[in-house]
Amino acid sequence: MPFSIGFLFIYTNYFILSRTIEENYVCLFLDATYLPLRRDTVQREAVYIALGITPTGIKEVLDYRIAPSENAEVWSEIAANLKQRGLKQVQLIIADGMVGLQPALLHAFPKAKFQRCLVHVMRNISTCVRLKDREVILDDFKQLHSVTNEAEARKMLADFYSTWEKQYTNLISHIRSIEKELLAFLAFPAANH
């Protein structure tokens, strides 16, 4: 690794992982993606990223980690690190539905609302439906992105359920079970959506 890139990595790593952060963030986006990383061999590993949005709308990478796979324990470590570095309150946490993630995050930030990432939900929907239905069902669900109040969202979901429940009973049952987590963003003013 050339000196300048190595130095940049070390500086960035130190700057992101040890700096003091704001006490309050409006949103905390959490996600992990798998990237091929070379150690002795090339293996796909999870790169965890925590992105915060300040009350003034500034986006900041607050933390990141690399681990062999995604799990709630690493997310708990990230939450603890954020608190140790000064984060006291988060209004909305947006993340996928990985088992154990929501309780771990809400333990660290009990006043936060938890929002399921709609993009992740749409990816899950696309894997559970027939190819011939995929485009239409995703277009129907995507309407949730543009609703402006809870009544509108509940009507949209009721229509979605009635349209697709006969064909995809288990999928609709699952979406009903996470409905509260799909609508958490509606507790905030429209400018924050």
Looking at the structure of the chain, the number of domains it has is 2
Phi/psi of residue 44, nearest 5 degrees: -80, 125
Supply the DSSP string of 131-190, one letter for each residue: HHHHHHHHHHHHGGGG--SHHHHHHHHHHHHHHHTTT-HHHHHHHHHTHHHHSGGGGS-G
Are 84 and 107 found together in one domain?
Answer: yes
**Residue 7: pLDDT over 50:** no
Residue with tokens 């798998």: 34
Examine the fold and report which residue of 116, 136, 164 is the final residue of a domain before the chain moves on: 116
Dist CA 178 CA 116 (whole Å): 8
Q: What percent of the chain has pLDDT over 70?
A: 89
Are 22 and 34 found together in one domain?
Answer: yes
Are 89 and 140 found together in one domain?
Answer: no
Are 24 and 64 found together in one domain?
Answer: yes
Dist CA 117 CA 94 (whole Å): 6
Examine the fold and report which residue of 116, 148, 173 is the final residue of a domain before the chain moves on: 116
Are 32 and 108 found together in one domain?
Answer: yes
Are 122 and 182 found together in one domain?
Answer: yes
Instruction: For the chain, give the mean pLDDT.
Output: 88
Amino acid identity of 189? P
Whole domain around residue 128: which residue ranges? 118-192
Q: What percent of the chain has pLDDT over 90?
A: 66
Are 163 and 74 found together in one domain?
Answer: no
Express each pLDDT in 84-138 by its tens digit: 999 999 999 999 988 888 998 999 999 999 999 999 999 999 999 999 999 999 9
Are 127 and 85 found together in one domain?
Answer: no
pLDDT at residue 155, as a whole number: 97
Are 101 and 172 found together in one domain?
Answer: no
What's the mean pLDDT in 164-179?
Answer: 97
Q: Categorize the per-residue pLDDT at 12 as very low, low, confident or very high, splitting at 50, 70 and 90.
A: low
